[in-house]
Amino acid sequence: MSTAYFSHPDCRRHDMGPGHPECPQRLTAIDDWLLATGIDQALERHEAPLVDLAAVERAHSHSYVAELADLLQGLAERGESHAVDPDTVATPHTWAATLRAAGAAVRATDLVLDGGAENAFCAVRPPGHHATRDQTMGFCFFNNVAVAARHALDDRGLKRVAIVDFDVHHGNGTEDIIAGDDRVLMVSIFQHPLYPYNGAVPKGENMVNVPVPAYTRGMEVRSMIEAMWLPALERFKPQMIFISAGFDAHREDDLGQLGLVESDYEWITQRIKDVAERHAQGRIVSCLEGGYNLDALARSVGVHLRVLAGI
C-alpha cells in the first residue's frame, strides 16, 4: 500500500509570531515523531509545488484571489506583516506557504487519481477549512481541501467526492464553498458552541453537520459517526474522499474541550478508509488542519498515517 506525504520548507516559514498556536513547530513535531517511530519509512515523500491560481479559483472568487495575492505579494516584497483578522497574521512568507499548501492538495489529488499512490497526506500550513469563498479567517487563506475537491470534479472529471472534517472547529469555509453542490457530500463533527460559532444548522442538503457539546468523549463521537456519517457516505458512494484532518479535538489540546485520544483518530481513519475501499478504489487525500498541542498532534498524525499506510 502506497501513501504519499507532501510538505515543503516554505510551510514552516510562515510564522504568525511568538505564542501563536498555529506555529511552524507543528510540522517539525510531526516530522520528528514520524522519524522516531519509523513511520517515515513507509511513506513516499513529495515536495509540495506552487498551486496554479486557476485551480484556486475553482473554490474562491476571482476577486478574492486577486486581492489576497496583491496583499501577500506586497508583504513579501516589503518584508512586512499584517493582521488580517484578530487571529490571523499575514507575513512576508505567507504567500509562498499558502501556494504550497494548496499546491500539495492539488498535486496529491492528481497523484492518487493517476495511480501513483493509493492515498496521500499533506503536512502543510497554513490550514484551510475556515477560508470561505471570499474571506480569510481563522488562520486560513486558501481552502486547501475545497480547492482539491473542486479540482477532482471540475478538472479531473469525477462525479462525486466526499469531504470529511473532524477538526474541533466547524469547517465553515468549506461549507460556504460547497453547500448546495450535489457532487460533494460533506460530513463533519465539531464542538459547538465554539469558534466560528456556526454550523448547527447546515447550509445545504449535501451537509451532515454533527455539533457536539464540550467534554464529549471518544466513544460518544464514534457512536455519532456510525449513526450519521457512515450511512450518508454509503448512500453517496464517493469516488474520492478528502479529509480536513484537524487533531485539536484531542483531550490534551487547549483550543477545544473535546475528549478524543489517538485510538479515536485511528478508529475514525479506519472507518473513512473502509468507505474509500468500498466505493473509491481506496482514494483518499488528507490535509492537515488544526492540532496545537505539539505532542498530541504528532502522536495523532502518527496513528492517522499508520492506518492510511496499512502499517
Q: Return the active site residues.
A: 130
d(CA 145, CA 106): 9
Q: What is the CA radius of gyration of the chain?
A: 17
Grid coordinates in use for 32? 520528528
Long-range residue pairs from 110-113, CB within 8 A, at least 24 positions apart, any chain: 110/151, 110/156, 111/4, 111/46, 112/4, 112/240, 112/283, 112/284, 112/285, 113/152, 113/156, 113/158, 113/240, 113/283
| Nearest one of 106, 238, 251, 146 to 183, comparing CA atoms | 238
| Nearest one of 309, 305, 245, 232 to 275, comparing CA atoms | 232
